[in-house]
Structure 1
Amino acid sequence: MSERKVLDSFPAGHPRGSWPAEERAAVLREQGESATVVMDLRTDRFLVVSKAGAA
């Protein structure tokens, strides 16, 4: 299993919820990065990460 690299993070308590993280992931995907958003319950943050198995 490949490790994911954290590319950015946003607080889960943001008034817009996960939208800032989703928007950042979309920008990274447009730039050719394989990015997705996951929730880190331990830190209560949305993480923008490289997709598993991405080069």
Structure 2
Amino acid sequence: MTTASGAKVLERFPAGSPRGSWPAEEYAARCRAQGEPATVVMDLESDAFLVVVPAEGG
């Protein structure tokens, strides 16, 4: 799956996580530790945090 900006979505997390819980950020950190340039963005339409990486060739 890719976003309108051309980024590849690795994982999505609902925005309603318990206070103090940051599963999207934790997942992105694990990806970065493995060499993936992962970042977290908010998808307002689905009310979810997306962990994304730049699309191949873009």
Q: Please give the range of the TM-score, normalised by the shorter of the 2 chains.
A: 0.7 to 0.9
Quick check: 1:27 aligned with 2:30? yes
Q: Distance in 2 between matches of 1:37 and 1:50?
A: 9
Aligned residues: percent identity? 67
How many corresponding residue pairs? 54
Q: After the TM superposition, list the runs of 4 or more consecutive aligned residues in structure 1 that deviate by more than 3 angstroms.
A: 51-55
Match of 1:9 among 3, 12, 16: 12
- The alignment's C-alpha RMSD in Å is 2.5
Q: Hey, what's the Cα distance between the residues in 1 that align with 2:25 and 2:15?
A: 12
TM-score, structure 2 normalization: 0.78
Gap runs ≥5 in structure 1: none
Matching of residue 37 in structure 1 with residue 37 in structure 2? no
Task: With the length of structure 1 as denominator, give the TM-score of the two structures.
Answer: 0.82
